[in-house]
Structure 1
Amino acid sequence: MTAMDTITYRPARDELAYTFGGRMPVAHVRSGDILQVHTEDCFGGLVRGPADLPSQVCKMPYLNPVSGPFFVEDAEPGDTLAIHLAAITPTRDWGVSSTFPHFGALTGTSHTATLQPPLEERVWVYDIDRQANTVRFHATETDHTADLPLDPMIGTIGVAPGGFEARSTIVPDTHGGNLDTPELRGGTTLYLGVNVHGAMLALGDGHARQGEGEACGVGVEIATTTTLAIEVIKGTGTAWPRVETDTSIMSVGCARPLEDAYRIAHRDLVGWASDLTGLEELDAYQLISQAGGAPIGNVCDPNYTVLAAVDKALLPAPSPAYGGVHARLRQRATGLR
């Protein structure tokens, strides 16, 4: 740790983690610190071209690695950890995506059993141009290309679950995890309830971009340098992950079936909006029913992810969420993008 309380962490390959919980911390950090964390892609950097089929170059369960965990001093069960994503920067000029046998929204899986044969396994390589701010898609069977906006996000970020559990990094739940929502981009603050002493924050699985729902189960997977600012909010719990931007608040639900994830997210947002504004619960429910959004994170992971979102400008004089920590951390992170 330097005098400026900025911590830089670059894990060696054998230091990558594949669970939330059950790991010793890689570093101790404090509320108010800035972290600059190097993350590997979901394939551990082993898929680099069309010939690198994930089933051949990767080995289960060593998929979706995260960097960490970081022990956050003064974080205790019943607190909330605020994580402001100041910047997410691709570290390579390429990213990869793929189809997997028995994985994705449009194929039979072990839990959606069908008689159809598995999808062909295939890899797509995307060019990343940070100057042009684009991600270039190349069709594999024709010469078609398409330039898509570069919109980096962190797919997996979370804290240790409670109850002495260790959860695979592929699973999203109350502790965070593989949320796979494009809303976790630079400039966003994520709120996670603390379940264990020290919180044990970890992150990885960067995407250069991802469509809502992550239909094939794989975004444009990248390694990143991610800069975050953290703050412990004492004595305030958070049951499900929450997200705040300059303009919106969002609640995250993770479950199967998809409608239960939708219900979790919207039930939490109705309560949060009511708490922030003093709106009676059914009035808040009605407003969110007509003005809210429901971006889907993923429909492929062990739990599905749905967000419930509402524009802060539509809420009647809302109190700042968590005492204004989003604006405070955003100011602290100024110049780190």
Structure 2
Amino acid sequence: MENAMDEVVVTKFTHGLIGPDTGFFAHVRNGGRIRAVTPPGCWGPMITPDFRGGHEVTQPVYVEDAKVGDALAIYIEKINVLSEASSSGTMQTNEAAFTDDPFVAKKCPHCGTPWPQSRVVGIGEGSIRCAHCGAEASPFHFGQGYTVAFDKARQVSMAVDQNHAESYAHDAKHLAALPESSQQYPILLYAAHALTGLPVRVEPCIGNIGTIPSRTLPDSHNAGDFGYFLVGAHHEWHVSEEELDEARTDAHLDCRDVREGAVLIVPVKVDGAGVYMGDAHSIMGRGEIAGHSIDITADITVRVEVIKGLSLLGPLLLPNIEDLPRIARPFSEAERRQFSELGHTLGIIPALDVLPVQFIGTGKDLNVATDNAVKRAARFMNVGDDEILNRATIAGEVQISRLPGVVQLSLQLPRELLEAKGLWNIAYEQYLTS
């Protein structure tokens, strides 16, 4: 493709939306790399009244040779934490500051201006003010909030006290390391200071990464759980349940295993794929039970490869081997010998040529998300749901990625199937060459 580059460095963000209307930043060749310094995901955009979604992700990149009905392998090569400090916590909403959805349909609680322009006055949870009338205009406050500081090597972090939190609030943009073109207010402005002294590991992951949906959606809602808030909504990004299922690519995974070394395989629903990323976290426990983890500015590099003719209903993940549940890991040499000996005794050849794949499922709750993952796996394997249920119970596992509704379904898949889908070499390199 003309003007396709070996490496694209993305410097623009989409102000809360993602899809065909956001356009392409540049073109990258099939096999090329995409790099970006991504701003924090959730809290900054959430408290900024003119954002149309809950994140601030990169403008999509067009990948040569990627067509609707293909898939795209995204190799996550690097995630470097740039923020010196960050804040997070449980959330409370200011119901007067939005209509249908506090992430999307924001308004000034006093003058009613939708998505009002705003300014910062001082620090704290009342610091974001409507530019039209001066009223406090953020739709989100903390239930309990905390602030962490990172060490210079970005290997550990710790929750700070009130004095440090207030000091950070006065230098929020610098300490958050916001990219120059970022338009969010840094959440450090709120000066949250619970959990003082709590030590927190640093294991960065990417919360929102993949390809654009086939219709423009709020970026935080490109998944079956958050996207469900769009069903029947009264703002302009409303959808039916069927329209959401057809459009979404489930890029908003919030999966702690989407980190350096992992391979994410995603559907292509628009020609050129439209790769984008953002919402990186310094760490996140499975389930993201507080609703939000520690959002960071991150320097991310990924490599992309088109898989022709692989039609997917949703993402597949090949995590690092240490992130796989033990039950689904590749067999050791000792295990292979034991299975072979048992097979010889029984006169049955054991199906040992298998490697693990995780199917991502999303939905309005965990039950729906699990059913979604099962059906995606059944279609991929061309078997009935019952076989997936059995395999996932005795040779696989379901893990919670995010509440209310994102799961990872681990299965061991046979070589002949993976070869037919064009995935055997990718899985082999991921699990059997290190």
Report TM bin, short chain: 0.7 to 0.9
Matches within 5 A, 1:213-224: 213-224=287-298
Structure 2 Cα separation of the partners of residues 166 and 153 of structure 1 = 25
Change (3 A) 1:25 1:119: closer
Letter in 2 for 1:171: H
Counterpart AA for 2:72: L
Letter in 2 for 1:124: Y
Say which structure is richer in strand: 1
Q: Which whole-Å CA distance do the structure 1 matches of 2:296 and 2:269 have between them?
A: 29
1:245 maps to which residue? 319
Q: Give CA-to-partner distance per residue, 1:115-164, whole Å, 9 cap, x none.
A: xxx985453211223637223234777774232321111111132222xx
Contact kept, 8 Å, 2:70 with 2:309, in 1: the verdict is yes
Q: Is the partner of 1:66 in helix, strand or coil?
A: coil
Q: How much identity, in percent, do the aligned residues show?
A: 22
Distance 2:145 2:395 in 1: 39
Q: Alpha carbons of 1:252 and 1:220: their partners in 2 closer, same or farther (altered >3 Å)?
A: same
> Over alpha carbons, which structure has the higher Rg?
2
Partner of 2:206: 154
- Aligned residue for 2:76? 85
In 2, Cα distance between equivalents of 1:153 and 1:6: 21
Alpha-carbon deviation of 1:189? 0.9
Structure 1, gaps ≥5 residues long: 47-53, 104-108, 112-117
Q: Structure 2: which amino acid aligns with 1:98?
A: G
Structure 2 gap segments, 5+ residues each = 95-99, 103-139, 162-191, 224-247, 322-355
Residue 286 of structure 1 corresponds to 390
Q: Which residue of 2 aligns with 1:210?
A: 284
> Which residue number in structure 2 is paired with residue 99 of structure 1?
90
- Within-5 A mapping of 1:52-63: 55=47, 57-61=48-52, 63=54
CA shift in 2, pair 1:41/1:325, >3 Å? farther
Q: Which whole-Å CA distance do the structure 2 matches of 1:219 and 1:87 have between them?
A: 20
1:258 aligns with 2:366: yes
What count of residue pairs does the alignment treat as equivalent?
299
Partner AA of 2:78 in structure 1: A
Aligned 8 A contact 1:42 1:221 in 2: yes
1:275-323, CA deviations, whole angstroms, 9 ceiling, x for partnerless residues? 7xxx9975554232123222222225xxx2111124x5xx565746733
Q: Displacement, 1:196?
A: 1.1
Who is 1:50 aligned against? none
Under a length normalisation based on structure 1, what TM-score does the superposition of the two structures give? 0.76
Judge conservation of contact 1:213–1:296 (CA < 8 Å) in 2: yes
TM-score scaled to structure 2, two decimals?
0.60
Q: Secondary structure at the match of 1:206?
A: strand
Is residue 2:173 matched to residue 1:123? no
Structure 1 pair 17–25 and aligned structure 2 pair: CA distance change class (3 A): farther
1:187 aligns with 2:261: yes
> What are the Cα deviations for residues 36-55 of structure 1, in whole angstroms up to 9, with x where unaligned?
11111025858xxxxxxx64
What secondary structure sits across from 1:177 in the alignment? coil
- State the distance in 1 between where 2:158 and 2:426 align: 33
Question: Does the 8 Å contact 1:16/1:68 carry over to 2?
Answer: no
Q: Does 1:22 align with 2:130?
A: no
Distance 1:60 1:110, change over 3 A: closer
Aligned-partner residue type, residue 251 of structure 1: F
CA distance in 2, matches of 1:243, 1:45: 28
1:235 lines up with 2:335 in the alignment: no
Q: Which piece of structure 1 moves more, 124-133 or 83-92? A: 124-133
- Seen in structure 2, the aligned counterparts of structure 1 residues 198 and 2 have a Cα distance that, compared at 3 Å, is closer
Give 3-state SS (helix, strand or coil) of 1:261's partner: helix
Give the Cα–Cα distance (whole angstroms) in 1 for the partners of residues 8 and 16 of structure 2.
Answer: 19
Work out the CA distance in 1 between the residues paired with 2:400 and 2:217.
Answer: 22
8 A contact 1:17–1:67 mirrored in 2: no
Of the three residues 55, 60, 67, the one matched with 1:64 is 55
- Amino acid corresponding to residue 201 of structure 2 in structure 1: P
Cα offset for 1:88?
A: 1.0
- CA–CA separation in structure 2 for the residues paired with 1:68 and 1:142: 35
1:171 equivalent to 2:171? Answer no
Partners of 2:144 and 2:35 in 1: CA distance: 33
Residue 198 and residue 33 in structure 1: after superposition, are their counterparts in 2 closer, same or farther (change >3 A)?
same
How far is the alpha carbon of 1:187 from its aligned partner? 0.8
SS at 2:21's partner residue?
A: coil
Residue 270 of structure 1: how far off its partner (Å) = 4.9
The structure with the largest helix share of the pair is 2
CA separation of 1:2 and 1:36: change in aligned 2, threshold 3 A: farther
- The letter for the 2-side match of 1:175 is T
Per the alignment, do residues 250 and 135 of structure 1 end up closer, same or farther by CA in structure 2, a change over 3 Å counting? farther
Change (3 A) 1:129 1:329: farther
In the TM superposition, residue 220 of structure 1 has moved relative to its aligned partner by 0.5
- The equivalent of 1:115 in structure 2 is none
Q: 2:423 aligns with which of 313, 323, 326?
A: 323
- Residue in 1 aligned with 2:343? none
Match of 1:145 among 191, 197, 217: 197
